[in-house]
Every structure is written in structure tokens, then in C-alpha cells.
Amino acid sequence: MNRKRCIRYANEKDIRTLTEFNMALAAETEGITLNSEKVEAGVAHVISHPEMGFYLVAEDDNRIEGSLLITPEWSDWRNGFFWWIQSVYVTPDNRRKGVYRDLYTHVLKLGADVSNVCGYRLYVERNNLAAQKTYEILGMRKSDYVMYEREINPLER
């Protein structure tokens, strides 16, 4: 019997899986190994502080096939929130099977019910062409902005 994929909010029981997904995402897309304790604490923090954002998981037959994180960013220009789509991960055996499409469609439905959501944004590693193609197929476009960042070195604190 073929079951229908369920999209749901992540909860405390999903912290370990989301941590594993984030670790795999960093290794696959950027070739880096993250500190698993720090990642697990970060995932747990978001789940216990919903004002910071929320994770969605795609589940079929009680197995999580993929996930993403939504974090809000206030836009004074638009008097609304952009929902940033982050930490997108689909398990290798479930890629190209509509998992991300289902997650993204669910995000759009949720955002349509929140009056002050003004748009959706995400960033993607510049060489991840497969992901970029997926985002474009689903109606997203490249932004005119270039992103810069500076991480804080713990020794600077």
C-alpha cells in the first residue's frame, strides 16, 4: 500500500534526525564537518523557542525523508516578514521524488495564512546547481543581492 507523504512541524523527538541531516548537509554541500553537539543544541533551541522559527519534516511510513527550517526576518521596507528557508535536506534515496516540492508547497500554504508574511528567501551554495534548478522550477528567482558574512571568532569575545 502506497502511503501519502505527511508534512508536519518537527518536535523534540526529531532533534537527533535533524542534527544528522544538518551534519550531512554541511558535509555534502560544503565539505565541512560541524560540531554535532553544537548543531544539536541549535536545533533544540529553535524547537523550544518557536518565535525563532520552525522546522518542517516530510514523513512517509514514519520515516523522515527530508526537512527544512523557516526563520523570520523583519522587513521595514515591506512592513512584513520574509520567511527564510534554511537547512534544506532530503535523504539521498528520496531525492528527485518531490520531497522538497511538498515541503515548499506546505510553506507557501502556511505563509498564505499569516497576514504579515511578505515573501520567501533562501540562500544556496553557489555550486549546488541541482538545488538552484529545483528552486527556479518552483517559481523562485535569483535575488539581486549578494550576501556577505562575518562570523565571530570566539577568541574575539
Q: What is the pTM of this model?
A: 0.92
144 DSSP assignment: S
Record the cell numbers describing residue 94, joined without a space. Answer: 528520496
Query: Could you tell me if 143 and 85 are in contact, meaning their C-beta atoms sit under 8 angstroms apart?
Result: no
Q: pLDDT 10s digit of each residue in the chain, 157 long?
A: 456 899 999 999 999 999 999 999 999 998 999 999 999 999 999 999 999 999 999 999 999 999 999 999 999 999 999 999 999 999 999 999 999 999 999 999 999 999 999 999 999 988 889 899 999 999 999 999 988 988 888 777 6
Query: Could you tell me if 105 and 140 are in contact, meaning their C-beta atoms sit under 8 angstroms apart?
Result: no
Tens digit of pLDDT for each residue in 49-81? 999 999 999 999 999 999 999 999 999 999 999
Cα–Cα distance measured from residue 135 to residue 86, given in angstroms and rounded to the nearest whole number: 13
pLDDT at 153: 82
Report the CATH number of the 6-156 domain: 3.40.630.30
What would the DSSP string read from start to end of 88-133? EEE-GGGTTTTHHHHHHHHHHHHHHTSTTEEEEEE---TT-HHHHH
